[in-house]
Amino acid sequence: MAHGIYAGNGRVEIHEVAYTDRAGLASALSGVDTVISAVSGARPVVVDAQRALLAAAVEAGVARFIPSDYSADYRRITPGSNRNFELRRELAAELDAAPIRVTSVLNGAFADMLTGQAPMILFKRHRVLFWSSPDQILDFTAKDDVARVVALVALDEDAPRVVEVAGDRVTARSIARTMTELTRTPFSLQWAGTTSLLGAVSRIGRRVSKDKDQAFPAWQGMQYFVSMFSGEAELHHVNNDRYGTHEWTSVRDVLEAHLNVTTEDR
């Protein structure tokens, strides 16, 4: 089910339309300048639902489409190494062929993933995991900062095909140093293997998994680490100043806020 929000002339309209209802989608998008997609899921969502939304946007005469990428750079990854990134790349080919202007926002990983969703920081064991190299650059951006950029892209008539931003660029080594400073407890680096080994484990996990249609099964999380620590998904054209100066939320900010909350809950 598509939940559309149209804002204009001081008003907000909310429309609920099934993605299978092309006429309904096109009607809901009538008069809209820019479609901002913010869906998340596996193939039925990332490809199928957005394909339907794209077709309706073209039919309705929408000028711009911002797909639900909001990720690291999926364009250069090795085939078979990251399912979710490959789904985005598959959709990107259709977006590029469609008669509509498209802008993707790439921002690395969401910074709040470091507070637990991505098991890279072992808070209780005072360890920071890394694969292959502790000095590989990792891009992270807070969700609010991404939302700000997306809103500005929607208003930017000269926005390019891809806008890259990174609220912070860190390494496993610098994260361990930050955690040591914030907790006043030594956090050490822990080698977890090579990205090649992790990739092999993720492929085995995918083959035996019963949750292949879920957006973020364990093996998919492994694939994200492969993409990031191999350097394939690193952003190479970051332009944080495209929309003026901004105080970006750092990884340190996110971790400090998380530690303050967990301390209060004790």
CATH number of the domain encompassing residue 192: 3.40.50.720
pTM of the prediction?
Answer: 0.92
Please indicate, yes or no, if residue 82 is contained in any of the structural domains.
yes
Does residue 207 belong to any structural domain of this protein?
A: yes
186 within domain boundaries = yes
For the chain, the domain total comes to: 1
Q: How far is CA 101 from CA 12, 35, 121, 123, 144, in A?
A: 24, 10, 39, 44, 24
Predicted local distance difference test score (pLDDT) of residue 10: 60
Stretches where the chain sits below pLDDT 50 are none
Is 53 domain-assigned? no
pLDDT, position 168: 98
pLDDT at 209 (0 to 100): 86
The verdict on residue 43 lying in a domain is: no
Q: Give CA–CA dist 148/150, Å, rounded.
A: 6
With respect to residue 95, please indicate whether it lies within any of the assigned structural domains.
yes
pLDDT tens digits, residue range 199-242? 999 999 999 988 767 888 999 999 999 999 999 999 999 999 99
Within a domain: residue 25?
no
Domain range for 247: 69-264
Q: What does the pLDDT read at residue 215?
A: 83
Would you say residue 193 lies in a domain?
yes
Quick one: pLDDT at residue 32? 94
Report the pLDDT value the prediction gives residue 3, as an integer from 0 to 100: 57
Predicted pLDDT of residue 261: 85
Res 214: pLDDT: 83
How many Å apart are CA 156 and CA 152, to the nearest integer? 6
Secondary structure string (H, E, C) spanning 119-183 = CCEECCCCEEEECCCCCCCEEEECHHHHHHHHHHHHHCCCCCCEEECCCEEECHHHHHHHHHHHH
- 38: tokens are 């913010």
